[in-house]
Amino acid sequence: MFDYSEALSRRDLVTQLWMIEDAVGSDDIPAALRHYDTALRTRWGAWDLLFPVLAGASNDPAIGKDLVKLLASRPTWADSFVSYLATNSSDPVATARLFDGLRRAGVPVSGQDQALVINALLAKQPAAAWEYYASVRAGADRRWSRDPDFKALLEQASQLDWVAASSETGLSASIQRDGQGAVFDFFAPASLGGALLQQIQFLPPGHYMLSGRSSGINQPVESQPYWILTCTDNGRELGRVAVPNSDQAGGAFAGSLVVPADCATQYLGLIARASSAQEGLTGQILRVQLRPAPQR
């Protein structure tokens, strides 16, 4: 009877739901996904009903493998489902595995969806977050901070990329194009301090050097910004590197840091000190990189 109903019209949602249940009961994954596809293509409102179910089912590796094949055929609902999964996944490890399968199949996943999954993994399984991040960011190396010249200009940054302070903090901070390159531009009102820029690190234990160059900073020593490295698990400070006024040494700054064995992930941040100057703190970071210190 249901076969006959489907032959009359594929738009009947009850028929497609029954077909899905029948295929699931028979452990026929391709058939179940075929009926998901039919329902999602032909019936208005099916997305709200079926996306949550399909998202939960995608956590199963066997289903995820066949789902990648279906999404690779580019059905009309594919992009919307991928975005739904990135936002609502109950298992970010499974979602990262599915997204990696899509990448291998040549199916694009937006930078925003990638960032959502990376951040979700950081909260639950940091090692898996780095593994997925390294698969979508060519050349990523745990021993080095990323994007030293701010050239990536991502549509959506993850916590493993440079993240500028939100305007809600009262600070103004953004990565801006500058000719063929880019700079990090910032402003902190008088008497207001806080984090201007940050990036999560996965540095192995060892000695490191942080260096870079600034422009436009002109403050008393006690109001000059600084870089700080801390352990993300307990906030333990590992060291600071001062950013002196930009008219000194051509704006160059540098300092050494040590990462202990019991600190698996770290927070690297640029911190604004509260300034007593009426105009507040202004400046730019032209380049910054954290890298292994030269062997002695």
Helix (H), strand (E), coil (C) string for 216-229: CCCCCHHHCCEEEE
Global pTM?
A: 0.88
The per-residue pLDDT for 146 is 96
Q: Report yes or no: 111 and 154 within 8 Å, Cβ to Cβ.
A: yes
Contacts from 139-144 at CB under 8 Å and sequence distance 24+?
Answer: 142/201, 142/202, 142/203, 142/204, 143/203, 143/204, 143/291, 143/292, 144/289, 144/290, 144/291, 144/292
The per-residue pLDDT for 2 is 57
d(CA 287, CA 214): 7
Q: How far is CA 26 from CA 13, 23, 36, 161, in A?
A: 20, 5, 15, 45
Q: What sign has the CA pseudo-torsion 130, 135, 137, 138?
A: positive
The per-residue pLDDT for 268 is 98
The per-residue pLDDT for 263 is 96
Enumerate the β-bridge partners of residue 258. 207
H/E element holding 23? helix 13-25
The per-residue pLDDT for 14 is 63
| pLDDT tens per residue across span 133-179 | 999 998 899 999 999 999 987 888 999 999 999 888 889 999 998 77
Instruction: Give me the residues of the chain with pLDDT under 70, please.
Output: 1-16, 18, 20, 22, 296
H/E element holding 254? strand 252-259
